[in-house]
Each structure stands twice: as structure tokens, then as C-alpha cells.
Structure 1
Amino acid sequence: MSLQTVGSEARMTVSAIRDAIDAAPPLRERELAARIGISEAELLEARGDGWRVARIDATPGRLIPAVEALGDAMALTRNDWCVSEKIGRYTDFHDGKHAAMTVNPDIDTRMFPQHWVHGFHVEKDTEDSLRRSLQVFDGAGQHVHKVHLTEGSDLAVWAALREDLAVAPAPLAPEPAPAPEGARTNPDRVEVLRREWAKLTDTHQFLMLCRKVKMNRLGAYRVAGAPFVRALQPSAFGDLIRGLSAGGVGSMVFVGNRGCIQIHSGPMDRIAPMGPWLNVMDPRFNLHLRDDKVAEVWAVEKPTKRGPALSVEAFDADGTLIAQIFGLRKEDGAVDETPAFRKIVDTLPDAETAA
């Protein structure tokens, strides 16, 4: 295998990556990169044969205002086992050093700029079309967020983006991907956790509480007990999606990674399972969940000023969060959930034993 040295690391050359692509079966980018043993960003940069790839500034404060001018686009955020795709406009952007966001009914995101490291302007020829996208990866070359153009996107703006956001190309030297943290508990602070949990007034205070008691989200769930959490069967997460669809009940679906969280607010109508994937295939929202990779599910209740906030949260076998579903807050903001959502959650099957 042909290698080159980048910094102190020996990495595959572009020609070696292209040879590995040619030798591999047809796979999606993420799976192909894993098969070759490189990051998705390295795979993208090495692409030839109908791909045109250019480096651009990935900083949200520069990229997202430029994307807003595109008009309708498709926002894609994913992790290993879940993909959220939303069509809309990137409006109401709020920048920040540690966190940025777009807040509108279609493209609702929370962005963490420190992980928006590598950006690409991508054009890909297919048999019947030219696919255009902007793709962002973290320091390890892992997916953070992608913007795909749609029929409603402004192509004149697209043509200018490459020049406006261009940065000098430099060899990719991805850092090691972080290992899964798993559940982190602290038996000595369980009573403090429970006491302070009961005093929460906003869901955003929860992670601060976890840091205070030296636990993480899953670790806290495993030791908190009733009335704060209820362990559910792994199948319960898919059951919830199907139940929400059947009942026409809206919800808030959070899917993310360490660099971006994407939120869908509204109903999930058309459910289309395919093999291990549980899919929501609505006109402007698609969700793709590897249902078989859900290993642990918790129903979680947190007190807020607007009343209890109920969520159902799915984790994989490594203890990594896959997705969260909350009750859809009423438009007046008076309560954090609806009775219809709680009714469905109450029917979900308990785990046979707590994790």
C-alpha cells in the first residue's frame, strides 16, 4: 500500500485511496471510508472520476450566512446509526464562539464551531444529474453537517460560494477519533443528583448538573431511578416512532453528533421500514434509524418552569446517544409536552431489568 507522511503520521496516498475505492463494492461514503480505513473527509478529498471537490471555510459564521442565500436546501446531520434530513431555508442564524444556531420551523440546528474544521464544496456527476453539496467534517474527518442543493436552490449563489469561501488547500491530517465514553456514574453523588434533578427549571440545566456530580447523561439515567427515569425495551424507540405516526402526534426529534444537532418539530407520517432501517419518508423530512443498533432506551422526565419535559432517548451498545424524541411544545410555550405524547410513552414496554 502506498503511504505518505503528513506531520508524524503515515497516511494512504490519493492514488492508493482511489485504488481501494475501485476495488471496493458499491457503498455509501461513510461505509466505504470505514472499509478502506480512512476518514470520510480523506475519502472525499481523494475522489476523482466525476467528482469536483474544493476546500472551503467551514466556520459556521461564514458558511451559514452564505448558505442562507441559496434558498431551499436539504440539511443533513447524522451519527453512526441515525440520519436526519430536512428541507428548508437556513434563516435566523445566531453566531457564537462556543455555540451557534439556526432557529426556524424547517432548519433548526445547534452548531458547535470548534468541531467545524474541514469544509468542502462538492459536485458529483451521476447518470442522470449533477449533485451539489457543501460538506463539513470535524478534526477527525468525521461527518458534522452537509447541505445538499435542491431544485429550489439558487445556482447563481452556488457558483459564487466556491470563490467566496475558498481557502488554500492543505494536506489533511485527521486527529484520532474520540473513543466512546460509555456510561459514567458516580455512586457517591447519587443523592445529590436526585436532589438537584428535582429542582431543575429548564432542560438545558441537566448537562450542567451531570458535570457537577461527575457523571454523563447515560450514567445519570442508570442510577437516578423513579420518578426521573424508566428503562425501556430497546424496541421501544421504534415503537414510539410508529405510535406517533399512527396517532398523528407531533414531536421534536433530535439527531446529532459532537459538532451539530438537528431538530425536527412536527409529525412523522410515512413510515417505511427497509431491512434494518426504520425510515420516515415525508416530503420535507426524512429520518433513517438503524433500529437494530438501539441497545438501551430511557423515558426521562425533567421538571421545568412550564411543567415536566418528557423525552425518550436511545443509546447504542457503546453508550453513545443515537437520538432523542421530546413531546412537541405547544405554540404558546405554556407546557413542554402534550398529553397525547405522554399517553403513547406510557404504553412503551419496560426493560426486563434496568441497565
Structure 2
Amino acid sequence: MAQDKVTSPEEIRALRAENSTARARDFCDSHDISEAQLVASQVGQGVTRVAAHPDQLMPQIERLGEVMALTRNASCVHERVGHYGNYRSGPHAAMILQPEIDLRLFPSHWTSAFALESETETGFKRSIQVFDAAGDAVHKIHLRETSNHDAWAEVVATLATGDLSDQQTVAERKPPEAPKANLEKLDVLRTEWARMTDTHQFMRLTSKLRMNRLGAYRHVGEPFVQPLETGAVDAALQAVAGTGTEIMIFVGNKGCIQIHGGPIEHLRAMGPWQNVMDPRFNLHLRLDHIAEVYAVTKPTQRGPAVSVEAFDAEGSIILQIFGRKTDAQDSRPAWEEVVAALPHSPVEALV
């Protein structure tokens, strides 16, 4: 998005007043602006600029008690109710490790943040929203009726930057990385893949071999990766819903990955969306955005970690589903049986 095309804050406010019911992302896409620009246009009108770095934000968010954490990409929205806490800082990656709020944070993408407050017929609607350099949402925290609203004013005052500007400068959005494979190193990839003892070794391995995730998946072959039909993700969700099978669902963007750990109970399809609609976990997945799906097996010291992973037409990862690991094992046999029964794709490895 080029900066010289940006609509002025006054025009953004006028356009939003004419179309106040549209979802923020849909409104922004239709007017070629970013979500950060939309939110910034309301600074001083229920919106306050706050510190964006997780080291400053997370200790304050803990004070708000039970909230809803939201992380999304263009094809999937992940919403989880719980408490923030057990924050672990890091220069390149940070973490929230709680039973319900489980996050991996990449601070370099936490560029701007805002506290939003508005009064509705049902009470005050309050949230903290974080955006990257292109103005795309990285992570949002929404207060609920059960949140500690008494702490809100002090939290916002503590985090406020004092910047009263209603205009937000954004950078050009970077295109997704194309699938990257080094065919001369496939034998090395297969040999070292078989020697992995932890799933976190995978990204280091592909980087060393000048590959990326999708490039490796397209070419490594069995027994490590099996292409699946695009309907396999929906089939997997339907197979585990209501069975008590514990899974982990990873959804993220460049700045944040959010993880659900546990069973899922209720699915509700609506048009192109498949939705998990449980009391403390919601997932909203655009099935029509899924272009490639793979069943992936990574060896670990505690048994195989088996996942179903979906990518969009541009090669961006949409979500990953694993069997939920425990302190004793990374494998979950009930989930592995589900994956083994998913429809395989006859398509050969893509070039």
C-alpha cells in the first residue's frame, strides 16, 4: 500500500460513519486502507495510542483478568478466552505460556498499538489492538464481562505514549515468500529430517539447506510428507469434533502465533466458513482459501509429531493441526488414526 494513496483521517471517519456496521477488515479492504489507519483516525475519540512492545504490554494485560485473545491471518481467525501470564521475553521471540492463552510473539512486528473504548447498549466495549508496519493486525485483546474493567483506566494510562496523532504511516506490505526448495539437497533433507529429535529443529534444517516450509513439503516425499486433498482440513475437524480427542491448532501471522490446546466440540459451517463455536474457543476458517494441504510427520524423542497443515494460493500457511502433546509424549494415537484416514491427493510434488 503506497503512502501517497492513503485517505486522510477526516475522510476515513466520514466513510466509516457511512458504513459503521461492516467488519473492520472488510471496510479497510474495500477502501484500500489498513486497519491501523482506521483505528488511528479515531485517536482522541475513544482511542488512545499505547506502547506496542510485548515487554511493556504483557505485564499490564495480565491485570485485566479474563479476556479474549484474537490472532488472525487472511484466511483464519483464532479466538481464545483465558488469562494472560507467565510472559517470557526474548529479543527475537517471546511467549505467553498459560493453559488457555498460549502465544508465540515476534516483537519486531509489533509496530503500533491502540486502546479502544466505546459505549454500547450492553456496556463498554474495550480492547487493545496491535499492528505491524503495514498496518495489518498482529494481535487483539478484547475485554469481556468477566474481565477486570476496574483496572482498564490505569492500564491505559500506564501504557499511553502521549502521541495524539490521528494519522498512521504504513509501509508497503511485503509479498509472501515463494515456495523455496533446493533439489540438490533433497537427500540431505531426508537424512537429517529422519534424525530430528524436536519439531523446532525443522526450521533450522530448512534454512540451512536454503529451503522453506512449503518448498520442503512439496518435494521431500514419504514417509515424511503426504499431500492431502484440500477438503482434508474440514474432514479432520469433523472427525475430531465431539470425540474428546485433544489437538493443538496453530494460527498466526508474522507477528504472533496463537495456539489452542484441547478438544473441540461444536462445528458450524456458514457459507465458505467452517467455524468452531465452543464456549472458550472459536475458530473461523475460510475453506475456499485452502490451496494445498499436507500430512506431516516429524520425529521427536517422545514419538512422532503428526500434523495437518494448510496453505493458501500464495503459499502462505493458514493453520496447522497437531495431536496435543503432553510432558510424556509428542504423539497422540487417536489423532494419528484421523490423519491416516484423510483423503490423499494424487497430485505429484509441485515444482
Query: Which category describes the TM-score, using the shorter chain as reference length?
Result: over 0.9
- For 1:74, give the aligned amino acid: M
Q: Deviations over 1:15-71 (max 9, x none)?
A: 1212332455842111111111011100111138x9511100011011011000111
- Between 175-184 and 291-300, the greater mean CA deviation after superposition: 175-184
Which whole-Å CA distance do the structure 2 matches of 1:168 and 1:97 have between them? Answer: 25
User: How do 1:241-320 residues align onto structure 2 when only pairs under 5 Å count?
Assistant: 241-320=237-316
Which whole-Å CA distance do the structure 2 matches of 1:182 and 1:246 have between them? Answer: 37
Aligned to 2:149: 155
- For structure 1, the residue ranges without an aligned partner over 5 or more in a row are 1-5
Change (3 A) 1:282 1:51: farther
- Between 163-172 and 31-40, the greater mean CA deviation after superposition: 163-172
Task: Give structure 1 regions of 4+ aligned residues with deviation exceeding 6 angstroms.
Answer: none
Counterpart of 1:206 (choices 199, 202, 205) is 202
| Contact 1:77–1:260, Cα closer than 8 Å, also in 2 | yes
Matching of residue 123 in structure 1 with residue 79 in structure 2: no
- Between 231-240 and 245-254, the greater mean CA deviation after superposition: 245-254
Deviation of the 1:246 alpha carbon: 4.1
Counterpart of 1:197 (choices 189, 193, 198) is 193
For 2:46, what is the secondary structure of its paired residue? strand
- For structure 2, the residue ranges without an aligned partner over 5 or more in a row are none
Which whole-Å CA distance do the structure 2 matches of 1:337 and 1:21 have between them? Answer: 48
Deviation of the 1:197 alpha carbon: 0.8
Matching of residue 34 in structure 1 with residue 29 in structure 2: yes
- For 2:244, give the aligned amino acid: G
Deviation of the 1:185 alpha carbon: 1.4
- For 1:66, give the aligned amino acid: Q
- Between 184-193 and 299-308, the greater mean CA deviation after superposition: 184-193
Aligned to 2:40: 45
Number of residue pairs aligned between Structure 1 and Structure 2: 346
User: Sequence identity, in percent?
Assistant: 46
Which whole-Å CA distance do the structure 2 matches of 1:10 and 1:235 have between them? Answer: 39
| Contact 2:242–2:263, Cα closer than 8 Å, also in 1 | no
Which whole-Å CA distance do the structure 2 matches of 1:52 and 1:128 have between them? Answer: 17
- For 2:323, give the aligned amino acid: G
Which whole-Å CA distance do the structure 2 matches of 1:153 and 1:22 have between them? Answer: 29
Aligned to 1:237: 233
Which whole-Å CA distance do the structure 2 matches of 1:195 and 1:73 have between them? Answer: 45
| Contact 1:51–1:125, Cα closer than 8 Å, also in 2 | no
| Contact 2:268–2:276, Cα closer than 8 Å, also in 1 | yes
Change (3 A) 1:235 1:10: closer
**TM-score relative to the length of structure 2:** 0.95
Matching of residue 15 in structure 1 with residue 10 in structure 2: yes
Q: Deviations over 1:130-166 (max 9, x none)?
A: 2100000011111100000011211121111111001
- Between 233-242 and 168-177, the greater mean CA deviation after superposition: 168-177
**TM-score relative to the length of structure 1:** 0.94
- Between 183-192 and 198-207, the greater mean CA deviation after superposition: 183-192
For 2:337, what is the secondary structure of its paired residue? helix
